[in-house]
Chain A
Amino acid sequence: MRQPDGSSSMLTTRVDAMLGWVRKNSLWPLPFGTACCAIEFMSVVSAHYDLARFGAEVVRFSPRQADLMIVAGTITDKMAPAVKRIYDQMAEPKYVISMGACACTGGFYRAYHVVQGVDEFIPVDVYVPGCPPTPEALMHGIIKLQEMIQNGETKYDRLKHPEPDRTASAG
């Protein structure tokens, strides 16, 4: 946050830090699950792995109520406009985890109907490799994202403050 004269102050950085802390511990995921990876996502929210331990269990299917899109599964060219539309409908701040080889790069479907990575059209914060990633891997991805939120390193933060002058704001 910046003062009208362009300088930043001690107080506002603390607000940033606090907001980051609040946001990272209350992620509401929107699972954009299309394929096999979505089944592993179900595992992650089920009793055995229990995503609630990381404060991210409030799964919402409405983009208006979610701030973390987890793209779990292959995205085809036919599906791409829907992904984009739903991403655009999410309220800011918003983050994206691309779960699995398919969402990251198209996976082993180098084919005529498959998007070769969702970052072709939406910004991705964390790429979780695997086909499908194990539940542990996805949880690792979520923890990574939490760190990034805390440190203001997500795509959203970077797009908002194009040059994060962290030393100046800390002083």
Chain B
Amino acid sequence: MTVSSTQSLTERHPLADAFPGDGVETIGNDADGHTVLAVDRSHLLEILRQLRDDDRFRCDFLSDICGVDYPDRQQRFDVVYHLANLDSGERYRVKVAVDEDDAVLPSAYGVWKAADWFEREVWDMFGVRFEGHPNLKRILTHEAFHGHPLRKDYDPGQRWLLTEKDIMTPEWAREEQLDDQHMESQVLNLGPSHPATHGTLRTVLRLEGENIVKAESEIGYLHRCFEKMSETHGWQQVIPYTDRLNYCSSMINGVGYALAVENMLGIEAPPRAQVVRVILSELSRIMDHAVCLGANLVDLGALTNFWYFFQIREEIYGLLESCAGGRLTVSYARIGGLAHDVPADFEEQVRRLLDYIPPFVADVDKLITRNRIFRDRTEGIGVLSPEEAVAWGWTGPCLRACGVPYDVRKAHPYMGYEQYEFDVPVATTGDTYARYLVRMEEIRQSLRIIRQAIDNLPGGPVITDDHHVALPPKEKVYTEMESLIWHFKLIFEGIKVPPGDAYHFTEGANGELGYYIVSDGSGTPYRIKVRPPCFALYQAYPHILEGLLVPDAIAILGSLNIIAGELDR
């Protein structure tokens, strides 16, 4: 099956003059206003450089690289780069096609450091090699894996077993090293099962005394094949899978996905659904920050705060459970709105939470913000400059802690965020302490948004009445022929998303959560690529560590809030 791009690619695009050579095959805009360029492989690197350096573009930010497989096409794979200029908000998508027999591209690592892990993922999933990449090996699947699982001809159930003898140790960790005093330096394997690595993260460190001289992170211990699974399910059925990406704030993921698909369908959820989505998303953001801060503080030895923060979560769970039926994995969003309306006492419950949460936050504030021990352990630790943070593809609270005020809710408002008054907290120092401060303040700002939203909660339906997308009400199905037909068609054929591709992004709890969706017009997604904010955050982690101590490594890891479900998908 071939998917053709639906963008209206004009011959004389205003930016066409910027590329005088024959490197750019087509240039145009998609429905969201993103500039789409199809590029010839031989000129890829030079065009990417131009996009970064030319004043007309200034794409300082690489948000994602992904592959798409079209087995019937002569040039089988597309590799898609998503770029942005964070100041102007302009978005660019660069596509380059490669043959299966000669699937090689130049690495963009020299242009944006963020390309590091994204390119490794494309290699792992599709088998496209990147020449000049410093460490091109599998990233999500394990060492004994064969084949490239996101190729369309890879059987989703085909497993390969890993035994202990195949487990990876980086090259450099195997060689013995002697320092000047002829003392051997030591290799420490932190994780994957270590209380401070939260279950599934592994970092190999080379230590001299307690100083970290080299570090490498290994991920994929929770690679649950989200993207392959979504290709084998219907559009609505993907929602439960999205919940399990960042499971600390599952509502945000589901809403982000629903918005991305709605965007392709050209529909909007009714106003009531939008406001409920905002309220529950912001509550989820609070939950996410609470678990991040709580866990970070436990790792630093401050257990009490964890119980305080968890109590907030318990209360929010109560609300989510009464709305959706599930505490953690809510699956409440639907394409076109919400699964069903909120309970009758929703407003009351939200107002109660608005009063309930602040004292807990204030308690933690009192215990921690000016706590000498905490500040000594976090101030000046794990510093990243704003330029570096952008180059690594950082977004969200961690980027704002470095001083870059980029928040999708402000820069590209969606779901009515432009109506709410809230501030984007920014710190300047870019260290672990700054990340703590930014998250604390974001909890307060989220409360502010919720307060405004609940004051203006409109009535009306919570799901669109477009029956190409949403099931008609049950009473009508039993009484009207037409509704019955809609019901059958939707159940058997699924939602028909028009063919084409689009990238839609929202502000997740950890930063820019993007969905790049390719549809072929059938009832199942052709390709869904998630741009997980953690992935970009975590790839910088081993580089930050060099020169620090092991206890710093723990403090920094907690402050980045790496959620394995989202990191490994």
Interface on A for B, CB 8 Å cutoff? 32-36, 38-40, 42-43, 46-48, 61, 73-74, 76-86, 108-114, 131-132, 134
Contacts and interface: CB of A to CB of B under 8 A. Distances in A.
Contact of A109 (B140, B224, B247, B313): B224
A38 B247 CA distance: 10
Given A43-B314, A61-B194, A76 B223 contact: yes
Interface centre among A76, A82, A83, A109 (most CB of B within 10 A): A76
State the 5 A-B residue pairs at the shortest beta-carbon distance, nearest first. Answer: A111-B225, A36-B247, A78-B142, A61-B195, A46-B310
A81 to B, nearest CB: 5
Nearest to A83: B193
24 contacts: A35-B247, A36-B328, A38-B198, A42-B291, A42-B310, A47-B310, A47-B314, A73-B199, A76-B222, A76-B224, A77-B162, A79-B200, A82-B221, A85-B164, A108-B229, A111-B156, A111-B224, A112-B149, A112-B154, A113-B141, A113-B145, A113-B149, A114-B159, A132-B329
Contacts of A32: 193, 199
Given A73-B222, A111-B228, 19 more contacts: A32-B193, A35-B224, A46-B311, A47-B314, A48-B310, A48-B314, A76-B223, A78-B162, A79-B200, A79-B221, A85-B164, A110-B156, A110-B157, A111-B156, A112-B149, A112-B155, A112-B159, A112-B228, A114-B159
A102 to B, nearest CB: 8
Interface residues of B, number: 52
Interface string B528-569: 000000000000000000000000000000000000110000
Given A34-B222, A109-B229, A111-B224, A77 B149 contact: no
A108 B238 CA distance: 11
A86 B193 CA distance: 9
A34 B195 CA distance: 11
A35 B564 contact: yes
A2 to B, nearest CB: 36
Interface in B133-149: 140-142, 145, 149
Contact of B159 (A36, A85, A113): A113
Contacts of B195: 61
A52 to B, nearest CB: 12
B240 interface: yes
A42 B292 CA distance: 13
A134 B310 CA distance: 15
Interface in B11-36: none
B461 interface: no
Main secondary structure of the interface of B (DSSP, over half): loop
A109 B159 CA distance: 12
Contact of A74 (B222, B310, B328): B222
A84 to B, nearest CB: 8
Main secondary structure of the interface of A (DSSP, over half): loop
Contacts of A78: 141-142, 162, 220-221, 223
B167 interface: yes
Given A35-B199, A43-B314, A46-B310, A77 B159 contact: yes
B88 interface: no
Contacts of A81: 162-164, 167
A80 B163 CA distance: 8
A110 B327 CA distance: 24
Interface in B317-337: 317, 327-329
A84 B241 CA distance: 27
Nearest to A120: B161
Nearest to B194: A61
A171 to B, nearest CB: 46
B248 interface: yes
A82 B327 CA distance: 29
B565 A35 contact: yes
Contacts of A46: 306-307, 310-311, 314
A113 B224 contact: yes
B76 to A, nearest CB: 20
Contacts of B140: 113
A131 to B, nearest CB: 6
A82 B222 CA distance: 13
A137 B127 CA distance: 43
A77 B194 contact: no
Contacts of B244: 35-36
Contacts of A114: 159, 224-225
A83 B155 CA distance: 26
Given A48-B314, A76-B223, A113-B142, A38 B199 contact: yes
B316 to A, nearest CB: 12
Contacts of B220: 76, 78, 113
A79 B193 CA distance: 9
B192 interface: yes
Interface centre among A33, A78, A86, A114 (most CB of B within 10 A): A78
Nearest to A86: B193
Interface string B19-62: 00000000000000000000000000000000000000000000
Contacts of A83: 193
A86 B158 CA distance: 26
A47 B307 contact: yes
A33 B156 contact: no
Interface in B272-304: 291
Contact of A113 (B225, B240, B241, B328): B225
B311 A82 contact: no
A48 B311 contact: yes
A35 B222 contact: yes
Contacts of B488: none
Contacts of B310: 42-43, 46-48
B214 to A, nearest CB: 22
Given A35-B199, A35-B247, A113-B142, A80 B222 contact: no
A39 B328 contact: yes
A34 B221 CA distance: 8
Nearest to B155: A112
A36 B313 contact: no
B160 interface: yes
Interface in B218-259: 220-225, 228-229, 240-241, 243-244, 247-248, 250
A49 to B, nearest CB: 8
Contacts of B167: 81
B473 to A, nearest CB: 28
A101 B244 CA distance: 13
A109 B157 CA distance: 9
A87 to B, nearest CB: 11
A90 to B, nearest CB: 12
Given A46-B310, A77-B142, A77-B160, A131 B329 contact: yes
A111 to B, nearest CB: 4
